[in-house]
Amino acid sequence: DWNMPDYISEAVEKIRAQVGTDEVILGLSGGVDSSVAAALIHRAIGDQLTCVFVDHGLLRLNEGKMVMDMFANNLGVKVIRVDAEDQFMGHLKGVSDPEQKRKIIGREFVEVFDKESGKLVNAKWLAQGTIYPDVIESAGKGKKGQTIKSHHNVGGLPEHMKLSLLEPLRELFKDEVRKLGVALGLPHDMVYRHPFPGPGLGVRILGEVKKEYADLLRQADAIFIEELRNTPYEATIVPGFDQDAVPQNWYDATSQAFAVFLPVKSVGVMGDGRTYEYVVALRAVQTQDFMTAHWAHLPHALLGKVSNRIINEVRGINRVVYDISGKPPATIEWE
Ligand code: XMP
């Protein structure tokens, strides 16, 4: 168990010694690891760090704005935001195979990131939020979709840019990264967020991805997450159990929760009219390692409220279902 202020000052010294007066580029995804890496490196070298944030149009509601508010506005980090939604949607047009979609999103991501990074001609370092489990994993076979963390060795960038890797979180486990993030001033809710896949909503819209679908899904997903956060978790308190470890709400009591867009229409009724609209599935799981998972036994009142809100507030959705499949045999994501 390490002392956080000491840890931070040691890490800061180490980064300063490593990079000297060089410039550093970091790909900010909005996820925990790259965010904590950015905050730590910024603490060490300030304006020598430039972050590149690629918005592929498959992020959650207001995510791009939140990333910019937190890093650019609050922490004063230099962030270049690239709005690449049209480019991604263009390349995804007509593609419905899940692995094909992953490949396209990964490839375009590298393309956009490298193009933007290539403009930072003085940069000597590429920083990544690689954490200890990633190091272990890439020594093994590696799981699908880790392209964002592992693609840079360091192809695609202009020939004159020979970047060295800066990975200040390489020795840390996830819970340590989170504690470090909070100590560096990142908001608790951000640092304790559920994991979000690199291809984002691209694998939560079944089949072909369209902006219209992404917009509907973002709204439904935000309602689900808001209600999970606002619903207290009634834990059975076992005597002697660590009180701090008891989740306070259903968001913290689940490991991952999200909405999935089903591009099929079903019939509904509203007022005296018949509707014919899309379906949203809710998925919430509890797991230790994401290799196996149980569906979360969410309270019926919570599910009912989320369903009502989505159907009333999201024009274009008239039916909500809850996924009660375990992993295995189902996966956590639907694609
Ligand atoms: P599955 O669906 O395989 O998901 O049960 C297990 C965990 O991995 C995440 N996941 C991904 N993460 N790129 C990622 O960065 C991907 O392509 C990808 N696919 C699944 C998923 O969200 C869950 O946490």
Would you state the pLDDT for residue 329? 98
d(CA 58, ligand 1 centre) in Å:
15
- Round to whole Å and give the CA distance between 282 and 302: 12
Q: Does domain 204-322 have CATH number 3.10.129.10?
A: no
* CATH number belonging to the domain at 4-191, selected among 3.30.70.1560, 1.10.1130.10, 1.20.1110.10, 3.40.50.620: 3.40.50.620
CA of 334 to the centre of ligand 1 (A): 10
Cβ proximity of 127 and 24 under 8 Å: yes
* Tens-binned pLDDT, residue by residue, of the chain (335 aa): 578 889 999 999 999 999 999 999 999 999 999 999 999 999 999 999 999 999 999 999 999 999 999 999 999 999 999 999 999 999 999 999 999 999 999 999 999 999 999 999 999 999 999 999 999 988 865 444 444 444 443 445 666 778 999 999 999 999 999 999 999 999 999 999 999 999 999 999 999 999 999 999 999 999 999 999 999 998 777 777 777 778 999 999 999 999 999 999 999 999 999 999 999 999 999 999 999 999 999 999 999 999 999 999 999 999 999 999 999 999 999 99
CA distance 105 to 92: 8
Estimate to the nearest angstrom the gap between the alpha carbon of 299 and the chain centroid. Answer: 26
- For ligand 1, atom 7, which residue shows the shortest CA distance? 290
C-alpha to C-alpha distance for 125 and 323, rounded to whole angstroms: 44
Ligand 1 centre distance from Cα of residue 12 (Å):
32
Q: Which two tokens stand for residue 85?
A: 């939604």
| Residues linked to residue 321 through DSSP beta bridges, in sequence order | 281
CB of residue 98 inside a 6 A radius of ligand 1: no
CA–CA distance, 127 with 35 (Å, rounded to integer):
11
150 lines ligand 1 (CB under 6 A): no
In the chain, domain spans: 4-191, 204-322
Instruction: Note the pLDDT of residue 29.
Output: 94
On whether ipTM exceeds 0.95, the answer is yes
pLDDT at 147: 42
